[in-house]
A = this chain, B = another copy of it.
Amino acid sequence: MEIRVQEARFDAGAELTAFTAAAEGAGAVVSFTGITRDVTGGLRHMEIEHYPAMTERALADIRAEAIGRFGLADAWIIHRHGRLAPGETIMMVLTAARHRADAFAGAEFLMDYLKSRAPFWKKEVTDAGENWVASRDEDEDALRRW
């Protein structure tokens, strides 16, 4: 349950419920959900490619690092690949800790690493054509704070 890379949709609310039940004894649970946005107004769908042999390992490493660094009671990562319609949930991270500061920091750390260090690539298919989403300098900068 800790790490899932899947093409199928998932129910973020149900995942939060399951995670919270599993993280018994933690006082603080944080979730982040990323959703396909139609920024330009013409998005038909998004395609997410990944590197299967590397993804699992990269996510396991990121998760272990987050748990160790922030003393998390638990952490889950769920990330989809394949074709996603606008408004669909792309991914989710969940963290549990005794105190809120660690749960928040753990989730932000996971997100910063997922953005720039997990082998996923997003392509937007719009009315005007296809384009690979460019990495953002802010995302690389965000890693430096950890």
Contact = CB atoms under 8 A, between A and B. Distances in A.
Copies in the complex: 2
A34 B142 CA distance: 27
A28 B90 CA distance: 10
Contact of A16 (B12, B25, B27, B111): B12
Interface string A90-133: 00000000101101100110010000000000000000000000
Contact of A31 (B18, B30, B35): B30
B37 A26 contact: yes
Given A100-B111, A111-B100, A27 B20 contact: no
A137 interface: no
Interface string A1-38: 00000000001111111101000111111111111111
A42 interface: no
Interface residues of A, number: 36
A82 interface: no
A93 to B, nearest CB: 10
Contact of A32 (B29, B36, B89): B29
Contacts of A17: 11-13
Interface of A: 11-18, 20, 24-38, 87, 89, 98, 100-101, 103-104, 107-108, 111, 138, 142
**Those 8 A-B pairs whose CB atoms lie nearest each other, nearest first:** A13-B17, A13-B13, A27-B37, A29-B33, A31-B31, A13-B16, A16-B16, A30-B32
